[in-house]
Amino acid sequence: MQVATWSSIGTLRSLFLLNLAALMVAIATQRSRDGRRRGRIGLQLKADHGAAIALGILVLALNITLPLQGADPYHLARVGQIERIGTLAYDPFIADPKVNVLGWTYELLLADIDQVPLIGHGLLRLHGVFGIALYLVAVAAARTWFPGGRAWCRAAVLVVPVVFQQFVLVKNDLFGAVPALVALAWVVARGSRADAWELGWAAWLTGFAVAVKLTSVPLALVFAVPLLVERPDRLRVLAITAAGGVVGAVCGGLAFTLVENARWYGNPIAVHEAGGLYNRNATIADMASGVFRFTISLFDLGLVTRRVWPGRGGWGSTFGLPMIWALAVLALRYRAEPNARRALWIAAGYFLVFSAVYTDADIAHRLALAPGVLLIVAAISMSDADDRLSRRLRLVLAVVMVLSALQILRSAYLYLRV
């Protein structure tokens, strides 16, 4: 689509043949892979069957009952613009410049779904169900590096309050978090010993995630720093990481967006002028305050920060009780489990940069889904033993899951009531 836009050859409606060819290649490639590896991921998905089906039915009901609605109006406006023009070209007459200058990868996906004859718009309304499937694939990928955990414990990733809201409203937070989660899990468990080919693909995922959602920039830092610290072949790692990250960013549209911004607005980072990321902390004091507020928000269940520091934007809930449980488990396993230490430090680094830069980090956990879900996945994998401590941790998790499920049901009720 980037090439079609700049070359004026092809549109969204004429590139279906290219999509068909890509699908055939993907199917052929998948069949040639090791069947045992595919089966392992499939079994991990099946372990969460009951909870996934229950959540899927709930989200399906909300998607069907509620009108197609974006958390921010420019998302659906951008979808409509892509469908109207047929390419990713900017519209100089658009009233809201954010429709032009903000990312388009997620919106292109929605516009592509809407092109399916007869049923496209109906499928688009089910965006939340597709979101659950994409989320489960990312979690299954992360579990290849964090195996273990009782079957019912694995369902904890489905009752994270802030993740649930991404299934209801059109928003690109979850879409950008999916590759970021896989990249973070890989860095924690595989980064120190992976070969060059694997490193390049992980860097590609990182660049793609940053391009999809610019608030994911901390991912690039916490991805590169541990590799450069732990691996002896630092120059080689730096070259491969940089090359893979650049290619991923180009695939995700970052270069295209910067060029088009400069072309139409005279400023490659016009997204800041449009208000997309301009709400950032400008002073050291503001950064320290942001980190302090965000730290509180990890434990306050959304009950403190909005009251003590009101009058700020943002929507959504916090990670809630599953995050508190995960932090406790990883702290208890800190000395015995190297991956517990690595997960905590990498997530802490991500959260630190995010909260220091972004003004509303404490009420916008939705913008840092990947490190939060990573901590929960890692904690689940370390709660599987039969000792007394592990049994108590699982008992606490059962209570956490019930309370979080009730919180999600309350959110669903409020959506339907409004």
Model pLDDT for residues 281-302, shown as the tens digit of each residue: 889 999 999 999 999 999 998 8
Q: How confident is the model at residue 414 (pLDDT cuts 50, 70, 90)?
A: confident
**8-state DSSP, 280:** B
Residue 41 domain-assigned?
yes
pLDDT of the residue at 305: 83
Cα 162 to Cα 29, 91, 418, distances in angstroms: 35, 33, 19
The domain in which residue 309 lies consists of 34-66+126-417
Neighbours of 288 (CB within 10 A): 13
Residue 399 domain-assigned?
yes
Q: What is the mean pLDDT of residues 64-89?
A: 90
Residue 117 domain-assigned?
no
pLDDT of the residue at 224: 94
Residue 26 domain-assigned?
no
Residues facing residue 280 across a β-bridge: 358
pLDDT of the residue at 124: 92
C-alpha 229/C-alpha 102 separation (Å) is 34
**Quick check: pTM over 0.85?**
yes
Asked whether the beta carbons of 317 and 157 are under 8 A apart, the reply is: no
Among 362, 226, 189, smallest CA distance to 286 is for: 362
Give the count of domains, the chain. Answer: 1
Range scoring the smallest mean pLDDT among 62-66, 141-145, 348-352, 358-362: 358-362
Residue 90 domain-assigned?
no
Residue 154 domain-assigned?
yes
User: Above 90 in pLDDT, residue 326?
Assistant: yes
C-alpha 347/C-alpha 269 separation (Å) is 27
Asked whether the beta carbons of 71 and 315 are under 8 A apart, the reply is: yes
Which two structure tokens, joined as six digits, stand for 353? Answer: 């940069």
Residue carrying structure tokens 């290219």: 18
Model pLDDT for residues 399-412, shown as the tens digit of each residue: 999 999 999 999 99
Residue 29 domain-assigned?
no
User: Above 60 in pLDDT, residue 350?
Assistant: yes
Residue 77 domain-assigned?
no
User: Above 80 in pLDDT, residue 418?
Assistant: no
